[in-house]
Amino acid sequence: MQTRLIAQEKMRSLGQLIAGIAHEMRNPLTAIKAFVEMLPKKIDDPRFRSELLRYVPEEMERLNRIVEDLLDYSRSRPIQLQPTRVKEIIQSVLVLFARRFEAEHIQVKVQAEDELFVLVDRGRIKQVLINLVLNAMEAMASCEDKELIISAEEKAGEVLVSVTDTGEGMQEEQWNRLFEPFYTTKSQGVGLGLYISQKIMWEHGTLLTGSSTAGKGTTFTMRLACANEPTCGKEEKHAALVDRG
């Protein structure tokens, strides 16, 4: 009897979860559909064209992100480490959001040396950075001064990559639940971004850490293995760490 009740409860939460995700995907789909339907009539209207060019790629990116997050939640693909220039990862993420930074008046600062290399799975670390930048932008949505700082510095054989925002910050109880799957405080959130990011960090043998002050802002820091020789040269130690996972 007890087991059946638990099973029913689980099915109910699963149902709610799926409804949440379906809802989440319907919003961008509705927006894209509306643009496509108006296209034959309004194709010559310059304002329509510029709105279409702004919103459709953004909404498609939102859909894509949800699908990527769900796939990552369910699969465990082995990571492939390679020396990568940190600045390249950062720039590849920032170009994705250039239009949005401008539209939302977000000031972006990058503080990283050109010759700093990390030993990472480039695609997956890029994904962590995308999640952190998205969260930072969302946290600043209703703030006056929006500043996003991405910094990278070498410290004792590691490279610390931090994402800082001047957004709404978090209360302690929020902070304690951040990395739970499906934990979100957003009406438009899925709550997988940080869970998956932490999973990716764990696969790299490291962790995502950070600090936050309600009303002031938040910083998340990725600790990555430095791949600069001979200053760092911690690949072996790092490989041992990764083996563990």
Contact flag: residue 135 with ligand ADP (CB under 6 A): yes
Which candidate, 107, 177, 169, 172, places its Cα nearest to that of 138? 169
Q: How many residues bind ligand ADP (CB under 6 A)?
A: 23
What is the helix, strand, coil percentage profile of the chain, to 5? Answer: 55, 20, 25
Tokens 């939302």 label which residue? 104
Question: Binding pattern to ligand ADP, positions 162-201, x when CB under 6 A?
Answer: ---x-xxxx---x---x----xxxx--xxxxxxx------
Amino acid found at 63: L
Q: Residue 129: how many CB atoms within 10 A of its CB?
A: 22
Question: Binding pattern to ligand ADP, positions 91-120, x when CB under 6 A?
Answer: ------------------------------
The site for Mg ion (CB under 5 A) is made up of 135, 193
Shortest gap between Cβ of 138 and ligand ADP (angstroms)? 6
**Cβ–Cβ < 8 Å for 165, 147:** yes
Q: What angle do CA 170, 10, 27 make, to 5 degrees?
A: 55
Q: Which of 131, 166, 206, 228 binds ligand ADP (CB under 6 A)?
A: 131
Shortest gap between Cβ of 75 and Mg ion (angstroms)? 19
Q: What tokens appear for 24 in the block?
A: 């989440």
Q: Which residues contact 231 (CB under 8 A, 6 or more apart)?
A: 154
Q: What tokens appear for 170 in the block?
A: 């978090």
Question: Binding pattern to ligand ADP, positions 75-94, x when CB under 6 A?
Answer: --------------------
| Residue 117's binding partner out of ligand ADP, Mg ion, none, with CB under 5 to 8 Å set by partner kind | none
Shortest gap between Cβ of 38 and ligand ADP (angstroms)? 29
Which candidate, 205, 197, 90, places its Cα nearest to that of 157? 205
Shortest gap between Cβ of 71 and ligand ADP (angstroms)? 15
| Residue 184's binding partner out of ligand ADP, Mg ion, none, with CB under 5 to 8 Å set by partner kind | ligand ADP
The residue ranges that bind ligand ADP (CB under 6 A) are: 131, 135-136, 139, 165, 167-170, 174, 178, 183-186, 189-195, 218
